[in-house]
Amino acid sequence: MKTISSSREVTDHRARLLKAMAVSVGAKGYASVTIADIVRHACVSKRTFYEHFESKEACFLALFRAASQSGLRVLRDSVVPDKPWQPQLEEALTRYFEHLSSTPGMLRTLHVEVFQLGHQGEEARRQVINDMANFMCSTVNREHPGAPKQKTLSHDMATAAVGAINELVLRMIERDTMDSLPTLTPLAAKVVRALVLSVDTPEAVPERAS
């Protein structure tokens, strides 16, 4: 029982620290946040902080990855394999945009403040883009029994689509219209369809490893 209690406590402390990081960055911007700010909001000691993260940067990256994985789960959970990819993609994008718009403070924090982390932040963003491109490829290129053979979406084309969608999201953040993110679905889906139709070869390009 002691082991279970300790494990739960560790998980709780980590979750509280990540939430405190999000609150702190949202209130004063990443550059101005201190570890003292984070532990004060989390109601834990600095010692507890360093038991989980080696630095402020590590804590923020953990927050970025956790939030990004949450968005990716929304995309994956929305897929119904036996349906054509077009309505599948639109449904996934709608749910994804709804998920992002439900936490506008977190959305601004992660999509804007991550650029302050330099190389580490860029690497984290690239991994997220790669994961989303893999999702898009698997959704678009899935075969359906009895359906005519269609052109396929390469990983590079999917990456281009994800990049375009991210830029649309950033524009909404800059305009402070995050609550309207779901309205991006038709345009985002149109971008993907245009890229699929632009493919010259019917052969699928293997997905890159995550």
Confidence of residue 107 (pLDDT cuts 50, 70, 90): confident
- Does domain 1-53 fall into CATH 1.10.10? yes
The mean pLDDT of 93-101, rounded to a whole number, is 93
CA distances from 89 to 83, 135, 205 (A): 10, 10, 19
pLDDT digits (tens, 9 = 90+) for 3-61: 434 566 667 999 999 999 999 998 888 999 999 999 999 999 999 999 999 999 999 99
Question: Which residues of the chain are in CATH 1.10.10 domains?
Answer: 1-53
The mean pLDDT of 111-125, rounded to a whole number, is 88
The topology under which CATH files domain 57-210 is Tetracycline Repressor; domain 2 (1.10.357)
Indicate whether 2 pLDDT > 50. no
Question: Which residues of the chain are in CATH 1.10.357 domains?
Answer: 57-210
Mean pLDDT score of the chain, rounded to an integer? 86
pLDDT at 186: 94
pTM of the model: 0.81
In the numeric block, which tokens belong to residue 134?
A: 């893999």
Q: How far apart are CA 183 and CA 23, in angstroms?
A: 27
Query: Does residue 170 contact residue 118 with C-beta atoms inside 8 Å?
Result: no
Q: How far apart are CA 102 and CA 180, in angstroms?
A: 10
- Number of Cβ within 10 Å of residue 85's Cβ equals 22
pLDDT at 48: 95
> CA torsion sign, 94 to 96 to 100 to 102?
positive
**Helix H segments across the chain?**
2-28, 35-42, 46-52, 56-77, 85-101, 104-113, 118-140, 155-174, 185-197
